[in-house]
Amino acid sequence: MSGTRPMRAGSRDTRLPARLALADGAVFEGEAMGALDDGRIASGELVFNTCMSGYQEVITDPSYAGQVLAFTYPHIGNYGVSPEDDESRRPFCRGVIVRDLTDRPSSWRSAESLEAFLRRFAVPGLTGVDTRRLTRHVREAGAMSCAFGTASEQELLAAAKAEPGTLGMDLVAEVTTGAPYLAGMQGAGRRFSVVAYDFGVKTAALRNLVGFADVEVVPATTPAAEVLARRPDGVFLSNGPGDPAALGHVVREIAALLDAIPVFGICLGHQLLARALGAQTYKLRFGHHGGNHPVKRLETGAVEITSQNHGYAVADGTLTGAAVSHVNLNDGVIEGLRCTDARAFSVQYHPEAGPGPHDARYLFEEFRALMAAS
């Protein structure tokens, strides 16, 4: 068959050349994709994720608010996008960087291509970027501000240097719910009642909680007194984006809950619980973003393969009123704590995800047991 091959909107046949500029002056070439229209400049804090699959769940994780997400796995978008895999109502990341974006996804579950999904939610991106070189650069230089688009190199470098990043930023206000709501199907008979603070909660976390409890999700700014007035059996502190040190108002409410009710925190919720106990937090060099982090459970010596997405951690030696329960075997970062004087515990990683595949699901059962014992 002869003739000219038709060009597909948004395909590699029609892409505009674009660049990614980092705040330290490094520049990477690529092509515009997603909602990166001609003349637009996108910026944020650049981080990389090492997951080999689950790109939709990663992109829709609210913990990426304020960040530009680069995938280390080179082939992204091959199975398209399915609504059932969304972790939140929309992506909150500032952009997506990939090596090779699939133009034609292949999966019976696919409702649309990844690029169509990004365009629908106005998420800009780059494809054709040497993400191997980019990852090595970030590992050596650390996470930093960046800008990308079709503008000149000078304009992009200026935008990258002007981007404030996430340090000291309250990004939870951008992702939290505006009003309380009930999560999933509420059960009949004797079930537990849980109030879940939404700091950027993922659908998978709520799905695990709904398995044994009636769950009401509340805004991040909800006072402890209002939570206790609901008379729940427990409180869940969710994952979320940004610097925990910028959330002093939330930390004070968590501190007010500790003597009154069982508490379970993950990710940002773990950091906020630690700060409520008087601990300090700090920014990691390039964060933990991926699905293969080995974490040791100190109580048993078992090693869990965990999913992680965070740029901050609890400072070792600053924790009081709690014992360290888990550590990261890659770098020794505190990955879990258990309070000694309160009915509360937390982990830095994401037990609702399943890279192990279910190494950490026991934590939800421990929360259920803690409520039952109370």
Cα torsion at 219, 212, 255, 267 (round to 10°)?
A: -70
CA distances from 1 to 7, 8, 13, 103, 104 (A): 16, 19, 20, 22, 21
In sequence order, the β-bridge partners of residue 241 are: none
- Which entry of 57, 115, 335, 352 is annotated as an active-site residue? 352
Indicate if the alpha-carbon torsion angle 98, 101, 107, 112 is positive or negative.
Answer: positive
Indicate if 146 belongs to the active site: no
- Biggest CA-to-CA distance, the chain: 77
* Distance, CA of 253 to CA of 333 (rounded, Å): 26
Residue 350 appears among annotated catalytic residues: yes
Choose, from 267, 270, 288, 339, the residue flagged as catalytic.
267
Catalytic residue among 137, 288, 326, 350: 350
What is the distance in angstroms between the CA of the first residue and the CA of the last residue of the chain? Answer: 73
Please count the CA atoms within 13 angstroms of the CA of 172 that sit on its side-chain side: 28
The catalytic residues are 267, 350, 352
